[in-house]
Amino acid sequence: MITKDLSIICERLKQGDLIGLPTETVYGLAANLFNSEAVSSIFKTKNRPATNPLIVHVASISQARALVKRFPEKASLLAKHFWPGPLTMILPKNQTVSDLVTANQSHVAIRIPNHPTALSLLNHLDFPLVAPSANPFNRISPTTAEHVESYFPSIYTLDGGLCTSGVESTIVGFEGDEVVLLRHGAISIESIEAQVGRILNRTAASENASLPGQHKKHYAPTCSLIVTYEPLFMLSTVKQKKVGILWFKSVQTESIHVEVNLVLAPSGDLAEAAQNLFSALHTLDKMGLDLIIVERLPAHGLGNTINDRLDRAATQ
Ligand code: TXA
Ligand code: MG
């Protein structure tokens, strides 16, 4: 059920139910941080392994500080610059945060979402919200209330329109004096480095990545997906009949014989491509195709984030 009524949503959360939460990145499946039954039901509802920790969403820096033992200097710098916004920081938790939320890690992931509806909800509540993306485990992330509804029809989703960033938050941790990138996201490495200098990149996707929740396969449509710099060459080599191509800036005319051609960002703007990415994958996934071929994006700025999501969607 989709609603714009904050009071219904507040009431559901107080009763211990899950709700669909709009954020600037993707919609979350949210619960009261301090209600362990509600937190457990997130894992059940998403079919998510208990080893994959959740992000805590707060309304203010002081609410974030109340959940952690330490707030490193560089974390303060990043919070001042990027919060509210799509930056998640991994910080040493104190005893107010349960092991269920962090999957037994000593650290907790926290961010302030930059979405007017999410912020007014958080300001109405006297507890933070834990929220993973509102999709079943491994499926395409939702960027509209309708996407959430199609996955979880019996849950109330707070309608906040189309997400403006369209890809998940960037995740960083801290090691001594170093900032470590753990997940590519809506804020580019370049933007973070402009604030704190060089950061360490620990995002390399690998089947046995030691980081919780960094599964190689993720964000996947139900049909096969291939990512390539040469969609037309790829098309000439495949046997599948019903093929759709997702282009970055424009359709190449020789592709007229495919079932569907979609363009991510006619302007060539990477932020526009990020905003449209998951919506385009949802659209293609509903068309009953045998194969989706996606044009790989340039490897800088948000192109790195989009390519990361596409590579995970493509892993068989
Ligand atoms: O933009 C976002 O971050 C969205 C919106 C809803 O805020 N949320 C989101 O949550 O993407 P989720 O659950 O799909 O991805 C969260 C990831 C986990 O898979 C894990 O990699 C990392 O965050 N994470 C969470 N807590 C962690 C912790 N304590 N230590 C290390 N990584 C953690
Ligand atoms: Mg997710």
Question: Ligand 1, atom 15: nearest CA belongs to which residue?
Answer: 132
Nearest-angstrom CA–CA distance, 92 and 186:
23
229 Cα: distance to centroid of ligand 1 (angstroms)? 29
- Which atom of ligand 1 is found nearest the CA of 57? 7
Residues with CB under 6 A from ligand 1: 23, 25-26, 28, 52-55, 86, 88, 90, 102, 105, 107-109, 113, 131-133, 168-169, 171, 183, 211-214
- Which atom of ligand 1 is found nearest the CA of 167? 1
147 Cα: distance to centroid of ligand 1 (angstroms)? 19
pLDDT confidence of residue 206? 44
Q: Which ligand has an atom closest to residue 138 CA? A: 2
Mean of the pLDDT values across residues 247-271? 92
Q: Which ligand has an atom closest to residue 139 CA? A: 2
Q: Which ligand has an atom closest to residue 27 CA? A: 1
88 Cα: distance to centroid of ligand 1 (angstroms)? 8
Could you tell me the two tokens for 102?
């962090």
- HEC string of 164-180 equals CCCCCCEEEEEECCEEE
54 Cα: distance to centroid of ligand 1 (angstroms)? 5
Nearest-angstrom CA–CA distance, 294 and 265:
13
pLDDT in tens, 55-70: 999 999 999 999 999 9
Of 57, 88, 110, which is best to mutate to test ligand 1, by the most ligand atoms within 8 angstroms of its C-beta?
A: 88
pLDDT in tens, 3-35: 999 999 999 999 999 999 999 999 999 999 999
Burial per residue of 248-260, b for 16 or more beta-carbon CB atoms within 10 angstroms, e otherwise: beeeeeebeebbe
Mean of the pLDDT values across residues 180-201? 97
Say if residues 160 and 95 touch (Cβ distance below 8 Å): no
Say if residues 165 and 86 touch (Cβ distance below 8 Å): yes
Which of the four pLDDT bands, split at 50, 70 and 90, describes residue 225?
Answer: very high
Name the residue with tokens 């293609």. Answer: 284
pLDDT in tens, 89-139: 999 999 999 999 999 999 999 999 999 999 999 999 999 999 999 999 999
Which of the four pLDDT bands, split at 50, 70 and 90, describes residue 213?
Answer: low
Q: Which ligand has an atom closest to residue 90 CA? A: 1
Question: Ligand 1, atom 3: nearest CA belongs to which residue?
Answer: 169
pLDDT in tens, 227-247: 999 999 999 999 888 999 999
The residue count of the chain comes to 316
Nearest-angstrom CA–CA distance, 283 and 226:
16
Q: Residues with beta carbon < 5 A to ion ligand 2?
A: 133
- Which atom of ligand 1 is found nearest the CA of 134? 6
Question: Ligand 1, atom 31: nearest CA belongs to which residue?
Answer: 212
Q: What is the mean pLDDT of the chain?
A: 94
Which of the four pLDDT bands, split at 50, 70 and 90, describes residue 210?
Answer: low
